[in-house]
Amino acid sequence: MVKKVVLAYSGGLDTSVILKWLQDQYQCDVVTFTADIGQGEELEPARAKAEKLGAREIFIDDLRQEFVRDYVFPMFRANTIYEGEYLLGTSIARPLIAKRMVEIAADVGADAVAHGATGKGNDQVRFELGAYALNPDIQVIAPWREWDLNSREKLLAYAEQHGIPVERHGKKSPYSMDANLLHISYEGGILEDPWAEAEDSMWRWTTAPEQAPDQPRYLEIAFAHGDPIAIDDEPLTPAQLLAHLNTVGGEHGIGRLDIVENRYVGMKSRGCYETPGGTILLKAHRAIESITLDREVAHLKDELMPRYASIIYNGFWWSPERRALQTLIDQTQRLVNGVVRLKLYKGSCMVVGRQSQESLFDPRIATFEDDAGAYNQKDAEGFIKLNALRLRIEKRLQG
């Protein structure tokens, strides 16, 4: 028996239909929750629509600072990318939404939470793993796994039958899009053919590189303990900083991506992404680490990163293994302080300078000029022979 359910609500077609369907199917009160994580849309219309459709209570929460500070930045301390390219813009938002849904459920005395993720995607896994990790006894309702409204046409027909206001986009279904302060994603439509190039009109955040300004843009990003804190000497909050980099990076065509990825549920999926700020931050963070991290620590982080990325992609943000890895990663960032200078030009982001009070780069040793005895080159002979010993022994045995 479900008496009250908290629904992750966007105000779009799917979740608007779900709001009405939950009331009819479960004869329960529905509380809507809409998260502002920087998707750039006006959220008050979602409130008006939820009221019209009979929501018992409505929550619209500004989570932008928490999203960037407590989820995006910790992820970027690990230089996290999935399958070599994807910066996990959708994946990293889901644990925060799940957390807030569970909190609201506790506050309003709800029996269950509900979401609009389909049975084919990763998001159902992420939402539900998060919910169960934070409240083992919570009930989860996933309408896409229960109803027979398995197409946009059926959803529109249901909406018309029940007086649900929706925006129509003509006969052709629009792209499935997800946006937040880290990225915007596109799936469906022409993108379901992995050979077809995305339409120029699809991209919303970034200028086409060939149409970007002819003059490069230089940026200086300051880091403290692995997190960016200022741009061009101007301190910014986490959300402000990422939003600014999105704007500047987008103007210069930074951060477009077209990939086929392996979903956790087993299928391959083609998607396009715009992540201008994240692309810049990843490049800058690796640059400041290059002069402040010990070699073996840096290499250890690179070895662990793919596992950390899969943990996030697969929805295990709240797992003990992610927390354990995060502790290690955060420990490595204590001395990751300094400034990185970057050059943005027609889709490229190039590091052109880095400096730090904790820099391990010693110009006296690294120089090609006279090092005044700082490095004894004769030491290399024994080093090489010791490392070659096993190779020489093996070759002698082979004859």
CATH class label, 4-67+93-162: alpha beta
Rounded Cα–Cα distance for residues 330 and 349 (Å) = 26
Residues 6+ apart with CB under 8 A from 15: 7, 8, 9, 116
Structure-token match 């001395």, residue found = 335
* Type of residue at 241: L
Check the annotation: does 16 bind a ligand: yes
pLDDT tens sequence for the chain (399 residues): 899 999 999 998 899 999 999 999 999 999 999 999 999 888 988 999 999 999 999 999 999 999 999 999 999 999 999 999 999 999 999 999 999 999 999 999 999 999 999 999 999 999 999 999 999 999 999 999 999 998 888 999 999 999 998 765 554 435 888 999 999 999 998 999 999 999 999 999 999 999 999 999 999 999 999 999 999 999 999 999 999 999 999 999 999 999 999 999 999 999 999 999 999 999 999 999 999 999 999 999 999 999 999 999 999 999 999 999 999 999 999 999 999 999 999 999 999 999 999 999 999 999 999 989 999 999 999 999 999 999 999 999 998
At residue 174, the pLDDT reads 55
Read off the pLDDT of residues 92-143 as tens digits, 9 standing for 90 and up.
Answer: 999 999 999 999 999 999 999 999 999 999 999 999 999 999 999 999 999 9
Check: CB of residue 242 under 8 Å from CB of residue 176: no
Distance, first Cα to last Cα, the chain:
78
What letter would DSSP give residue 82? B
Q: What residues does each domain of the chain span?
A: 4-67+93-162, 176-292+335-353
Rounded Cα–Cα distance for residues 183 and 10 (Å) = 17
Residues forming the active site: 14, 94, 123, 176
Check the annotation: does 376 bind a ligand: no
Strand 268-274 with 184-187, pairing: antiparallel
Check the annotation: does 273 bind a ligand: yes
Check the annotation: does 11 bind a ligand: yes
The reported pTM is 0.94
Sheet holding 268-274, edge to edge: 176-179, 184-187, 268-274, 256-262
Rounded Cα–Cα distance for residues 213 and 204 (Å) = 17
Fold: same for 4-67+93-162 and 176-292+335-353: no
Phi-psi region of 230 (alpha: psi -120 to 50; beta: other; left: phi over 0): beta
CATH class label, 176-292+335-353: alpha beta
Strand 268-274 with 338-345, pairing: unpaired
Rounded Cα–Cα distance for residues 186 and 197 (Å) = 13
Which CA distances in Å does 319 have to 97, 236, 310, 312, 325?
16, 31, 12, 10, 10
Check the annotation: does 206 bind a ligand: no
Residue 265 neighbours by CB distance under 10 Å: 14
What letter would DSSP give residue 61? E
- Of 124, 138, 108, 72, the C-alpha closest to 277 is 72
Give counts: helices (H), strands (E), the chain.
Answer: 13, 14
At residue 169, the pLDDT reads 52
